[in-house]
Structure 1
């Protein structure tokens, strides 16, 4: 080990890298409970759990590199994106986890609250919020629950060449909408949606994907701002919303 590097840190949790070990420190141990159990159940590669001493979880580093980063062009091949889609399909076909996820009513209520906050505080132009709230309606429909990762950001999928080497950060795993995972994976990387859908190998309602892009972005802006992130950076959440105008 030559250094300790902060991977991500905010008021709720932090992740440090020390050599080939990731140390995850979480104020809410229920999230860590979910992460460890979900990784044990998931039929896709996940990091090895080295040890756990609350509030710290130690995980082995995965080989390869992230499929991409939000706000940056991905250098991964179309085949790697397709492999990610295939891995997500495998997860969605696995037995459901025993704990529930968010209900449709909970998601809709949270969206209303966040849109009202964005308007009341003048965070974004009203027409931008209104348009994306309309687009988000496509996602607000009944879904058949599957085993979802729940936070399948592109930076959470690791590849080596065209092969998936692992998926990290399972603390939001639950029963949920399959298309939410696909939308989260392709958020800000619309040019790779066709590759992911081809790898997924099933009919996908693109209007629902677009709806989840808008919905996730609208829900995330306040949290990101309050935790020291900037959703207005090029290619990030605000640009995702602007692309729907």
Structure 2
């Protein structure tokens, strides 16, 4: 009998692996609905849905390996990173789904969320005031009008699989929907700035780098306290706090 591997688990959801099957347990049925819908519409390889019985979604494993993870050593060739960039561009160029995703927060809502989170980070002593203030100023560049695109919403490098230089699968679509394309690009290159040029070689160079940098700051500021509260370590080398320090 295959052993049960806990891939990730926190108060909102959990993912288990049994052999070549992933079981996603999510108390929010709308999130499972959104994931299944997004995978059915996405023009890139996605996991096959084996069965669905809320709150559980069973998915087949996708072949290949990832380019790494945040806080770890990145792997893969420049061509592999470029292939990932091309796949992301294919997604962004597709007709956006009707649902607004994680990357689709309005400018006003994002600004208010950032201001509130920065205030809490300082008040609770989680991060130094100067580090928070500097990154909040950098994050301002993300607060601008954007054209809705088909976004993944949580496009960490651990969610994109390749076999050689070919993308074989993109997983974890629960945050997908209409949103800002540059949010996806920033999420994918977060903590791996040295591969941004490779990604853009496949994606295309019509990208405002200041907005990418802004999303690195914004995403990290918004994530630090949630990660701590859910048992993760944003202070680990190469993770969110180091991303914020790099903006100094």
Q: Report TM bin, short chain.
A: over 0.9
Name the counterpart of 1:106.
Answer: 109
Which residue does the alignment assign to 2:71?
A: 71
Q: Distance in 2 between matches of 1:75 and 1:137?
A: 31
- How well do the aligned residues superpose, as a CA RMSD in angstroms? 0.8
Separation in structure 2 between the aligned mates of residue 104 and residue 88 of structure 1, nearest angstrom? 23
SS of 2:23's equivalent?
A: strand
2:194 is matched with which residue: 191, 194, 203?
191
Alpha-carbon shift at residue 24 of structure 1 (Å):
0.2
Q: CA deviation at 1:202?
A: 3.7
Q: CA deviation at 1:72?
A: 0.8
The 1-side partners of 2:31 and 2:113 are apart by 20
Secondary structure of 1:208's counterpart equals helix
Equivalent residue, structure 1, for 2:148: 145
TM-score, normalised with respect to structure 2:
0.97
68-77 vs 52-61, which deviates more?
A: 68-77
The answer to whether structure 1 residue 81 and structure 2 residue 78 are counterparts is no
Q: How do 1:224-243 and structure 2 match up within 5 A?
A: 224-243=227-246
Quote the offset at 1:151 in angstroms.
Answer: 0.5
- Structure 1 stretches lacking a partner, 5+ long: none
- Structure 2 match to 1:36: 36
Displacement of 1:2 in angstroms is 2.5
User: Secondary structure at the residue paired with 1:25?
Assistant: strand
Within a 5 Å distance, the mapping from 1:149-164 to structure 2 comes to 149-164=152-167
How many angstroms apart in 2 are the aligned matches of 1:240 and 1:184? 12
The equivalent of 1:217 in structure 2 is 220
Structure-2 separation of matches of 1:169 and 1:2: 23
Q: Partner residue of 1:59?
A: 59
SS in structure 2 of the partner of residue 220 of structure 1: helix
Give per-residue Cα distances to partners, 1:165-193, cap 9 Å, x unaligned.
Answer: 01000000011111100000000000100
Q: Unaligned 5+ residue runs, structure 2?
A: none
Deviation per CA, 1:105-156: give whole Å up to 9, x if none.
1111111110010010111111000100011011111111101001101100
| Higher alpha-carbon deviation: 98-107 or 147-156 | 98-107
Cα distance in 2 between the residues matched to 1:68 and 1:105: 34
Question: More displaced, 95-104 or 177-186?
Answer: 95-104
Residue matched to 2:185 = 182
The CA distance in 2 between the partners of 1:162 and 1:185, in whole Å, is 16
Cα deviation, residue 104, structure 1: 1.5
Could you list the structure 1 runs, at least 4 aligned residues long, displaced by more than 6 angstroms after superposition. Answer: none
